[in-house]
């Protein structure tokens, strides 16, 4: 064997050996799909494909929505992009665009529940921008940039619509328990090939100006394709270019996050399931930015399958942080809101059995004081002064 070939073989073997499945946190076996009392917001990302994993996730998601609608206050599905194609979308690999996104097992499961009254909201991912096939969600569910309100019965109402580079309020907040602010950042991150990329970015700017002047009466959750600060293949120093980093956000969105306009972030662009109870210390270290309020983040990006071993490798992930609760097994995440309180949950399918972890999160975080305890600020995230749970 030639020396160059041997080196490549060793490198590939190392890469794939490091790409084992990850599963950490207080997960426990949970055969029952019931999400508990309240309105359930199920978030699903990277759903494209018809794999066995996707079929299992579709069955579990359907059971969760059935329980939310039948026993509790109702359910809402939030599509987080990359839902079209034959296989789950991977960055820097062309998506399989020859199949209709509505033919996937997850799309069929969601469609059956929306006919029974489950709400539906969607933001696009790169696969939707690059493919020219119908996505699995109806046209009225896709909110490129805007605000929707969810009431105590799980009904979805438009609050702010953006068009022609302007945004305007179109409904009142009566009865709303939470607002979702949906922002499409793909034209900002990758404007090449988009006919009116400047106009799309202007709509984001207009929406953030609307948020800045609109008095907050209920909690707002920011809905993105990529996380605000990612931990995996799109995070700081990752192989896929660092699209999920705080410093990559548009200045207007950056401003509103620092100001504390949002309580939490819902995202799905990375191949993992994880929750971060407060992004502020992480952003302090990775971007040297101080958020005025705590900000939690829930990521759900394995609905269509677990992805390739290379995407799970420590050699391709970001170096910013490692979530304390994290799995890259197939599954999805949800938020349940009842009586002014919220819980986030992750359902992961591990060796053929379902496991769940849940965390209480705040909908009204207090403002930070003038003093704060800093995390380990050394850029070497494997050095001793960085706590073990913050090392990737």
Give residue 134's pLDDT.
Answer: 80
Q: Contact, 256 vs 274, CB < 8 A?
A: no
Q: State the pLDDT at residue 262.
A: 97
User: Is 275 inside any structural domain?
Assistant: yes
**Token pair 């949906």 is at which residue?**
182
Average pLDDT for 336-343: 95
Q: Shortest CA distance to 41 belongs to which of 172, 147, 152, 175? A: 152
**pLDDT band at residue 356, thresholds of 50, 70 and 90?**
very high
Q: Are 346 and 289 within 8 A, CB to CB?
A: no
Cβ-Cβ contacts under 8 Å for 37 (sequence gap 6 or more): 72, 73, 336, 338
Does residue 6 lie in a domain region?
A: no
* Residue 273, φ and ψ in degrees, nearest 5: -120, 115
For residue 298, pLDDT beyond 60: yes
Average pLDDT over residues 96-122: 84
DSSP characters for 310-350? Answer: HHHSTTTS-SS---SEEE-SSEEEEEEEETTEEEEEEEEEE
Residue 11 lies in a domain: no
Q: How many Cα atoms within 13 Å fall on the side-chain side of residue 21?
A: 14
pLDDT at residue number 127: 86
Looking at the domain assignment, is residue 353 inside a domain?
yes
The per-residue pLDDT for range 308-320, each reduced to its tens digit, is 666 666 677 888 8
Overall domain count for the chain:
1
Residue found under tokens 């922002």: 183
Mean pLDDT of 245-273: 95
- Per-residue pLDDT averaged across 349-366, rounded? 95
CATH number at residue 280: 3.60.21.10
pTM of the full structure: 0.91
Q: What is the pLDDT of residue 106?
A: 94
Note the pLDDT tens digit of each residue in 151-204: 999 999 999 999 878 899 898 778 899 999 999 999 999 998 888 899 999 999
Tell me whether strands 23-24 and 220-223 are parallel, antiparallel or unpaired. Answer: unpaired
- Which residue in 19, 109, 17, 30 sits closest to 356, CA to CA? 30
Q: Which domain holds residue 289?
A: 20-390
Buried b (16+ CB within 10 A) or exposed e, 143-161: bbbbbbbbbbebbbbebbb
> Which residues lie closer than 8 Å to 3 by C-beta, 6 or more apart?
none
């Amino acid at each position: 064997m030639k020396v160059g070939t041997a080196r490549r073989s060793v490198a590939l073997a190392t890469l794939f050996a490091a790409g084992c499945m990850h599963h950490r946190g207080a997960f426990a076996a949970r055969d029952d799909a019931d999400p508990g009392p309240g309105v359930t917001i199920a978030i699903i990302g990277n759903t494209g494909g018809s794999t066995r994993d996707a079929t299992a996730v579709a069955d579990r998601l359907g059971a969760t929505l059935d329980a939310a609608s039948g026993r509790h206050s109702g359910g809402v599905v939030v599509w987080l992009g990359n839902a079209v194609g034959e296989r789950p979308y991977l960055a820097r690999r062309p998506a399989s665009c020859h199949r209709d996104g509505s033919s996937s097992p997850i799309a069929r499961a969601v469609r059956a529940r929306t006919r029974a009254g489950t709400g539906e909201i969607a933001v696009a991912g790169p696969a939707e921008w690059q493919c020219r096939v119908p996505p699995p969600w109806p046209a009225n569910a896709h909110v490129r940039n805007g605000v929707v309100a969810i009431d105590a019965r799980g009904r979805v109402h438009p609050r702010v619509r953006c068009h022609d580079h302007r945004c305007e309020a179109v409904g009142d907040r009566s009865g709303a328990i939470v607002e979702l602010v949906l922002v499409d950042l793909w034209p900002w991150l990758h404007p090449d090939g988009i006919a009116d990329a400047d106009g799309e970015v202007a709509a984001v700017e207009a929406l953030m100006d609307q948020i800045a002047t609109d008095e907050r009466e209920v909690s707002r959750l920011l809905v993105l394709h990529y996380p605000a600060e990612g931990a995996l293949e799109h995070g700081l120093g990752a192989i896929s270019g660092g699209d999920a980093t705080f410093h990559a956000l548009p200045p207007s969105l950056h401003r509103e996050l620092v100001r504390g306009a949002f309580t939490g972030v819902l995202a799905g662009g990375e191949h993992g399931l994880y929750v971060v109870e407060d992004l502020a210390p992480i952003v302090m270290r990775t971007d040297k930015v101080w958020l005025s309020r705590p900000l939690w983040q829930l990521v759900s990006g394995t609905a269509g399958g677990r992805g390739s071993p290379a995407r799970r490798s420590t050699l391709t992930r970001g170096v910013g942080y490692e979530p304390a609760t994290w799995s890259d097994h197939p599954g999805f995440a949800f938020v349940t809101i009842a009586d002014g309180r919220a819980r986030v949950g992750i359902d992961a399918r591990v060796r053929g059995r379902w496991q769940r972890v849940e965390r209480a999160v705040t909908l009204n975080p207090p403002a930070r004081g003038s003093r704060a305890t800093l995390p380990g600020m050394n850029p070497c995230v494997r050095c001793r002064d960085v706590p073990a749970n913050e090392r990737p």
